Amino acid sequence: MQIFYAPGIKGDDFILDENESKHSVRVLRMSKGDPVRLIDGTGNLYEGIITDPDPKGCRIKVQKIIHGFERRDYSLHIAISPLKNPERFDWFVEKSVELGIDEITPLICRNSEKRSIRQERVNNLIISAMKQSLKAKMTRLNTPEDFTHFIARERRGRLMIAHCSYSMERRRIADIYKKGENAVILIGPEGDFSNEEVITAVEKGYVPVHLGMARLRTETAGIAACHSIYFLNQ
């Protein structure tokens, strides 16, 4: 059954926006009576049928609502440095949304090679990955934030900073994280966090962790961290 993004849906009658309408009618060749699924980005899944296959505004009759569809017991927030190659950051976003992530913050660190992201493009990637992986709640994408400002904010849950320095003690995520806990994980740039950043984070309650013996690229480290929390909650 095809799935479409329907933000702001209310009641049992909904008209898809023009982009989703064109995709359903022109690309997928859907017609009157075809079953569809809708997600609203807030955690609800809707099932219904097409009543008017208009490519400018496809009308849907909602027949069933599933509130809190596949709601998780935990939340995951990854703050990760933007990358010089935006396609690699896009890849991280896409795969982390597929696994399940609640919030992403581009983290501006001392060694970050880039300090911005293409916000609209990345949000569109999130919507696409959300639909593909059948998630009903949209991942929140924050605007880039300076490292110092980010760790100064009070955060709930298990706080972790993943870094590569062998001169500082680091633990495995599995050794400190408990199933069902909220988690905030910091992932640094290709040049890693500076020692000062790690020390400051530890003073704010972040526990240094490693993601295995291999030295990972930033986007791979982000996926490894996301999968660790996903796996530990299964």
Q: What average pLDDT is seen over the chain? A: 95
% of the chain with per-residue pLDDT over 90: 94
Range of the domain at 40: 2-66
Type of residue numbered 2: Q
Contacts of 138 (CB under 8 A, 6+ apart): 41, 42, 126, 127, 130
pLDDT at 207: 97
Mean of pLDDT values over 6-13: 92
Q: Examine the domain organization and report whether 100 and 209 are in the same domain.
A: yes
pLDDT at 15: 96
- Per-residue pLDDT tens over the stretch 142-156: 999 999 999 999 999
Q: CA 131 to CA 221: how far, in whole Å?
A: 24
CATH code for the domain in which residue 55 is found: 2.40.240.20
Q: What is the CATH number of the domain that holds 127?
A: 3.40.1280.10
pLDDT at 213 over 90: no
Per the listing, tokens 């293409």 go with: 118
Shared domain check, 80 and 60: no
Model pLDDT for residues 61-94, shown as the tens digit of each residue: 999 999 999 899 999 999 999 999 999 999 999 9
User: Is 58 part of any domain?
Assistant: yes
pLDDT confidence of residue 68:
93
pLDDT for residue 166: 79
Domain termination residue (choose one: 66, 90, 110): 66
Task: Kindly state whether residues 179 and 219 are assigned to the same domain.
Answer: yes
> How would DSSP label each residue in the chain?
-EEEE-TT--TTEEE--HHHHHIIIIIS---TT-EEEEE-BBS-EEEEEEEE--TTS-EEEEEEEETTTT--SS-EEEEE---SSHHHHHHHHHHHHHH--SEEEEEE-TT-S-----HHHHHHHHHHHHHHTT-SBPPEEPPPEEHHHHHHS---SEEEEE---TTS--EEHHHH--TT--EEEEE--TT---HHHHHHHHHTTPEEEE--SS---HHHHHHHHHHHHHHHT-
223-234 pLDDT, tens per residue? 999 999 999 999
100 and 166 part of one domain: yes
How confident is the model at residue 113, as a pLDDT? 93
Structural domain ending residue among the three candidates 48, 66, 84: 66
Q: What is the CA radius of gyration of the chain?
A: 20
Residue 11 confidence (pLDDT) above 90: no
Q: What is the pTM of this model?
A: 0.94
What pLDDT is stored for residue 217 in this prediction?
95
Question: What is the per-residue pLDDT for 82?
Answer: 96
What share of the chain has pLDDT > 70, as a percent? 100
Same domain membership, residue 222 and residue 121: yes
19, 53: one domain: yes
